[in-house]
Structure 1
Amino acid sequence: MAAPSCNAYKLRGFAVMAIFLVAFEAVFQRRSFYQRKKDAPESIPFERDTFYRFLNSCAIHWRKFTLILGTAIIQKAIAPLTSGARRNVLIIDDSLFSRNRSKKVELLARVYDHVSGTYMKGFRMLTLGWSDGNTFLPLSHCLLSSSSKQQQLQGASEDVDPRSNGGKQRKLAQCKVPEVVLTLLQEAREAGAPAQHVLFDSWFCSPASLHQIHELGYDVIARVKKSEKMHFSRLMASTGTSRSSSRCASLGKETRSISYDALTAHTAIVFARYMMLALEQRRNMDERSLGELFYLTIDELEDLHYLDALVSLLNLLMDCAKEAEILDEEQVNQLLDLFVAKLLNLWGKCLKQCA
């Protein structure tokens, strides 16, 4: 189980998995925890304080949780049905986690929105995802505040132990972006996420970052900044990456928590939902997972039409009746004629022609 590995456990009371599932299924129920507890209190066995203590816990390592979950999906559900020659990639991208109407959210900062070209209140959500060209899975993230205290609208809570997972997450949120990128990539490699390349856009691309990522064992495919100060002797590609993290949009609309731990937990839970939906979509839409067996089965069904199958069953029934000496041949034919007469006219004519 991933829960103990991520330091998510309880010594007494309700199981962690039971609390997690309530948070996980909230969006599918289309009701918040408060609304569900109010409308159907018997559907949730624990109280409000238990739920919010779970989300606000600084002990749980949420980045490790999503990494373990995503890697398990890749290795157990996707890789066995995928050619070993397919190139897997890790994708780094950022998107705006807006909290524009908030004032007291922990580590809230002024961040630049590349879409609108303005500064807004919120976080820069840095996402590390995995893709094989067909399926995208968000593996890890960090809600970046600002490394500049002047840009921070709220500081980190002083009550959190800096040695805890929540304390380390807060420290990472205030680091420079290249440092956070290397941390996420190193954790993905240690978790066993299979990938040969790292994709990102131009604002992550610098000579120092390229060298450091290459030392981790990855080749880089990125859009290079146009600059007279930098020269590259080898370019693998110059195309921009897709904004994969935007697929997990509207993150800020579901939660109104002001705790950084709760925001991190909420983002990880949304990632887990997305992984489940991505896997289900692949299973339902990817015909290649069945290979040639899928087409051979269709061809076999086309060769044996419904009426032919029905005639074969009737002939078998007649043979069995004769062998058992229950009815003679004349009685069997009379029974068959009676059966056909009871059918719809169209079916009866077709059966007589097939016979």
Structure 2
Amino acid sequence: MSILAQNHTDEVALLDCIQKFFAKHHVGKLLKQCNGTKEKGVPSISLLKYKLGNIFIGRSMYMQQRTGSFKEDFSKNTFYRFLNSAKTNWLRFTSLLAADIVNNGIKDLTDASRKNVFIIDDSLFNRTSCKKTELGSKVFDHTGMNYKKGYRMLTLSWSDGNTLIPVNSCLLASSKESNIIGPVKAFDKRTLAGKRRKLAQTKAPEAMLTLLDTAVSAGLSAEYVLFDSWFSNPAQITAIKRKGMDVIAMIKKSSRIKYTYNDEQLNIKEIYSKNKKRRGRSKYLLSVDVIVGKENPIPAKIVCVRNKANRKDWLAFICTDTSLSEEEIIRIYGKRWQIEVFFKTCKSMLNLIGECHSLSYDALTAHVAIVFTRYMLLAI
């Protein structure tokens, strides 16, 4: 009979699992490429392993020190300096790690004909106190349809339909200075810290393109980019198409956004009302070909379907790959739901919101990147 406690055995198994993950995907090498190194003392990789595994043990550094169970060979000051470092490029780190996992693992397990996708969405990263949190803002929550304190966590992920891998993210503050509650620190705009804060104050549709460029430069690829109506402006759709990827997105029922249909400039409501809808139990109500954009117009297909939540209502999707069938457009867009599951998992199980109480924007960025790494560890 073993005299070792069960929690000790579980902790050893956890550390072994993390060690294998780090070795297989060269995490230390990737961290070094992203300036996540120290000149002396405990190596950064040890600090990352500790932070990564804390959630699975169920105790924070604070509680470990309070109970006397903290046995690491570094101080809390060393740990927090690692998180607060402004020179570590966490955006590129998670992108490179995701690319290594996808290209050297997941793609070998799936058929070459499977359509891979990038999924873009945002979720509220709420903070109860923002007056001292750097760039803390009043941001609009799409779920509650009101303003809350914190950030919008704009996230790009990759999926093959079965496995979702988070790629990178940005904690977006408000682009309006009047809505920023916390302090705004000045950094040289040429430095990584300056670029990070500039991106944080960029509007979401523009920041989305930066996340895509970072993912592609890291070695990731996908045939389609999926997002909901909050990002489906013609300018963003045509910009993504120029990058060599097709878009499948839900579109807004806005009277201001117009498409070229039968040589007329019409909004989606006018297009819907002008056409006869399919009857019976068809999977879609209407399918039309349109032209999107003014400066660099591209052909696209709009598909309208019934809203399952309200049978009297309808939803519209746009796809820049006109060769796809209506059923295939609907099926591929269904993969977007995976990112909602990802957000729920990170918040309820991986302690995305409650674990980090730092006031530094750099530390919050590091925390989000490490939570994404935890999810990658679980996903594979």
Please classify the TM superposition score into its range, dividing by the shorter chain length: 0.7 to 0.9
State the 1:77 CA deviation: 1.2
1:1-150 equivalences under 5 Å are 1-40=29-68, 43-150=71-178
Aligned residue for 1:154?
182
Choose from 335, 343, 350 the match for 1:246: 343
- Name 1:235's counterpart in structure 2: 301
Letter of the aligned partner of 2:202 in structure 1?
A: C
Name the residue aligned to 2:366.
Answer: 265
Q: Alignment partner of 2:253: what SS?
A: coil
Aligned mates of 2:193, 2:52 — CA distance in 1: 20
Q: 1:204 aligns with which of 207, 231, 234?
A: 231
Give CA-to-partner distance per residue, 1:133-157, whole Å, 9 cap, x none.
Answer: 0001110000000111001002322
Shift of 1:167: 2.1
Query: What's the Cα RMSD here?
Result: 1.6
Q: State which structure, 1 or 2, has the greater radius of gyration over its C-alpha atoms.
A: 1
Shift in Å, 1:42 = 5.6
Judged with a 3 Å threshold, the aligned counterparts in structure 2 of structure 1 residues 168 and 144 are, in CA distance, closer, same or farther, namely same
Give the counterpart letter for 2:352 in structure 1: L
Q: Does 1:278 align with 2:306?
A: no
1:350 alignment counterpart = none
Q: Deviations over 1:288-307 (max 9, x none)?
A: xxxxxxxxxxxxxxxxxxxx
- Contact persistence 1:58–1:164 (CA under 8 A): no
Deviation at 1:255, TM superposition (A): 1.1
Kindly indicate whether the alpha-carbon contact (under 8 Å) linking 1:88 and 1:132 is maintained by their aligned counterparts in 2: yes
Between the aligned partners of 1:273 and 1:22, the Cα distance in structure 2 is 12
Which residue of 2 is the match for residue 177 of structure 1? 204
Q: Is the 8 A contact 1:147 1:174 kept in 2?
A: yes
* Structure 1 CA distance for aligned equivalents of residues 112 and 68 of structure 2: 49
Name the structure 2 match of 1:220.
247
Change (3 A) 1:49 1:199: same
Is residue 2–residue 65 contact of structure 1 (8 Å, CA) maintained in 2? yes
C-alpha contact (below 8 Å) 2:91/2:169 kept by paired residues: yes
Any conservation in 2 of the 1:37–1:44 contact (CA below 8 Å)?
no
| Change in CA separation of 1:236 and 1:185 when aligned onto 2, cut-off 3 Å | farther
> 1:334 — aligned with what?
none
Once residues 203 and 142 of structure 2 are traced to their aligned partners in structure 1, the CA distance between those partners, rounded to angstroms, is 18
Contact 2:119–2:226, Cα closer than 8 Å, also in 1: yes
Q: Is the 8 A contact 2:132 2:183 kept in 1?
A: no
Letter in 2 for 1:179: E
Instruction: State which of 213, 228, 248 in structure 2 corresponds to 1:186.
Output: 213
| Matched position secondary structure for 1:140 | strand
Return the offset for 1:60.
Answer: 0.1
Conserved? CA contact 2:130–2:137, under 8 Å: no
Contact 1:127 1:142 survives alignment (8 Å): yes
Q: Secondary structure at the match of 2:177?
A: coil
Deviation (angstroms), 1:224 = 1.3
Q: 1:256: how far off?
A: 0.7
What SS does structure 1 have at the residue aligned with 2:179?
coil
**2:130·2:182 contact (CA, 8 Å) conserved in 1?**
no
TM-score normalised according to structure 1 size: 0.75
Would you identify which runs of 4 or more consecutive aligned residues in structure 1 move more than 6 Å?
A: none
CA distance in 1, matches of 2:217, 2:353: 30
Q: How big is the shift at 1:33?
A: 1.2
Normalised to the residue count of structure 2, the TM-score between the two structures is 0.70
Shift of 1:178: 1.6
Which SS does the other structure have where 1:252 is aligned?
coil
SS in 2 for 1:254: coil
Compared with structure 1, are the counterparts of its residues 40 and 194 closer, same or farther at alpha carbon in structure 2 (3 Å cutoff)?
farther
What CA deviation, in whole Å up to 9, does each residue of 1:287-341 have, x standing for no partner?
Answer: xxxxxxxxxxxxxxxxxxxxxxxxxxxxxxxxxxxxxxxxxxxxxxxxxxxxxxx
As a proportion of its length, which structure holds more strand?
A: 2
Letter matched to residue 148 of structure 1: K
SS at match of 1:91: strand
Shift of 1:41: 5.5
Q: Equivalents in 2 of 1:236, 1:56: separation in Å?
A: 46
